[in-house]
Chain A
Amino acid sequence: MLDVKAGDEQSFTLLLHRYRSPLINFLYRMVRNREQAEDLAQEVFLRVYRAREEYVPSAKFTTWLFRIATNLALNSVRDNRYQRMEISLDAPVTADTEDGDEKTMDVAEKHPNIEQRLIEETRKKMIRHAIEKLPEKQRAAVLLHKYQELDYGEISKILECSESALKSLLFRAYETLRVELAPLVARQAKQ
């Protein structure tokens, strides 16, 4: 980011290539709409670009990046601006997934058996649904913890709370997930 600040356009492209996929996936899981997730990701990168000259490396770049992304996502979810366009992750497979963007298709191809494929699909639906049902802040905490693998310090800065409050938030979120996914958890325990 310091190279970007120094005016190196190539470094901005490198940042984009490194962070666009995790950022889009984070936003996708937050707002539950692919187009909106990409729009928000564009906005995040534009804000990074605009603020490049004022950037001070007081925190990790990922913390700064995901703080912008989280604020945009939380505002977007709360504003409910895109409610009209909202497409549930449970929605039937459409152009969104038909283009092979989701790895669900790959998994299905590995299990040509229809019954097996249905089981896999049901499992994924349950997991998506359990995450969707979490309150926004808990959802953001789980996504940053589980998929971005950020440490507690970073996540607490992003969500603007203390580390102890974050641990409590995460514990409540995982407890909810444990209850929501109880049938899968029990099945997994038997195997």
Chain B
Amino acid sequence: MSCSRMESKILGYVDGRLKESERLEMEKHVSTCAACRVRVNEFRTVNVLLDELPMIEPSAAFDIRLHARVAAEPAKQSWWAWSMPAPRVAFAAAMLAVAMAWVGSRMPNDPLSADDIDKINQNLPVLENYDVISDFSPLSDLSQQAPDDDPSDSNQSQQM
């Protein structure tokens, strides 16, 4: 094994992750190469020094905060759920259906027959006259004045 090839194996050798055959090959090289022996020892020391790095503990609020956030997550819904309308929409749709049914029930069910249309056509002049008369202001004035007339006037006129 060359020194350059050893570079890719040195870390695995230090932390004991090499295959048995690779480990034996490394040991053979290290026993004959002083520079690589020094480097292996220094890597081992670095590995030990890294163990001295302190650990931190999660804060007391960590779990509480996370559980609150998880609880606030919207529940996963199946595709069935997507096909179901929201309660408010369902209520509004139901109310609209009831209102339409009510309006529909108040409308005449049967269309006008031919006889009905003939009767309307016959009475049309009368209806038109009625429209004119009902909206004829002199007549309406007359009807308002009639109760104020003196009955004696009528007697006088009869005598005349």
* Cα(A50)–Cα(B74), bound, Å: 9
Which of A140-164 touch B at CB < 8 Å?
Answer: 142, 145-147, 151-152, 164
Cβ A178 vs Cβ B43 within 8 A: yes
- A15 to B: closest C-beta gap in Å: 11
Cβ B7 vs Cβ A103 within 8 A: no
- A23 to B: closest C-beta gap in Å: 9
Q: Which interface class (under 10, 10 to 19, 20 to 34, 35 or more) fits B?
A: 20 to 34
Which of B104-144 touch A at CB < 8 Å?
Answer: none
Q: Out of A50, A145, A174, A188, name the residue touching B43 (CB < 8 Å).
A: A174
Tell me the nearest residue of chain A to B51, going by C-beta: A146
Say yes or no for A184: interface residue by CB 8 A criterion.
yes
Cβ A103 vs Cβ B54 within 8 A: yes
Residues on B with beta carbons closer than 8 Å to the beta carbon of A151:
17
- A62 to B: closest C-beta gap in Å: 16
Say yes or no for A78: interface residue by CB 8 A criterion.
no
Cβ B53 vs Cβ A178 within 8 A: no
Residues on B with beta carbons closer than 8 Å to the beta carbon of A25:
55-56
Tell me the nearest residue of chain A to B65, going by C-beta: A42
Residues on A with beta carbons closer than 8 Å to the beta carbon of B66:
16, 42, 45-46
Residues on A with beta carbons closer than 8 Å to the beta carbon of B52:
123-124, 127
Say yes or no for A131: interface residue by CB 8 A criterion.
yes
Residues on A with beta carbons closer than 8 Å to the beta carbon of B58:
20-21, 24, 38, 41
- B76 to A: closest C-beta gap in Å: 6
Cβ B50 vs Cβ A146 within 8 A: yes
User: Beyond the given A38-B58, A46-B73, A188-B49, could you list 13 further A-B residue pairs with CB under 8 A, ordered by the A residue number?
Assistant: A16-B66, A42-B65, A45-B70, A46-B66, A49-B70, A123-B49, A152-B12, A152-B17, A171-B7, A177-B46, A181-B49, A185-B46, A189-B42
Listed in ascending order, the chain B residues whose CB lies under 8 Å from chain A are: 7-8, 10-12, 15, 17, 39, 41-43, 45-50, 52-59, 62-63, 65-66, 69-70, 73, 76
**Complex A-B: 15 CB contacts under 8 Å:** A12-B70, A21-B55, A21-B57, A34-B59, A38-B58, A42-B65, A46-B66, A101-B56, A127-B50, A131-B50, A177-B46, A181-B49, A189-B41, A189-B42, A189-B45
